Amino acid sequence: MKIIKQKLLTEPFSADALKLARAIYFTHLTDGNNLYLEIKLTSITTLLHLHSNKETQEKIHKLLDELNEPLAVKNFKFFGKVYPLRLVIFCKYKINKNILEIELSEEFLHAEHKYMLDSFLTN
């Protein structure tokens, strides 16, 4: 089966969502491609030029929800199995005190690298 690149984003992400996604992705790369990450909220507030308060956590939640808008991938092949249509999300996350705990989706990373015409993590 030949992989066909697809336009998967229905609309572009906001600038802050892109910054956050790329920061998470590069943390993933520098941490040995680990899918499970813990990032201090102070790092994110610095990156996004935010002040540390309850509204900041709400802003981070909104950005992660924006990034987790499901992507519909047609004829998605993943670990030898082919799905006619597969919905993939960026990550699962939880904010625990001052730490953002993230589990990146291996399916999403695969789709971003192999299927997306509009890839954004490595651009």
Q: What pLDDT, on a 0 to 100 scale, did the predictor assign at position 20?
A: 96
Residue 1 lies in a domain: no
Residue 25 lies in a domain: yes
Q: What's the rounded Cα separation, in Å, for the pair 90 and 31?
A: 18
Measured CA to CA in angstroms, residue 29 lies from 11, 23, 41, 123 at distances of: 26, 10, 19, 15
Average pLDDT over residues 6-19: 90
CATH number at residue 28: 3.30.1370
Residue 43 lies in a domain: yes
Q: What pLDDT, on a 0 to 100 scale, did the predictor assign at position 107?
A: 97
Indicate the number of domains in the chain: 1
The pTM score is 0.90
Query: Which amino acid type is present at position 33?
Result: N
Q: Is the pLDDT of residue 117 over 70?
A: yes
Instruction: Please give the residue range of the domain that contains residue 94.
Output: 15-69+90-105
Residue 49 lies in a domain: yes
Using pLDDT thresholds of 50, 70 and 90, give the confidence band for residue 23. very high
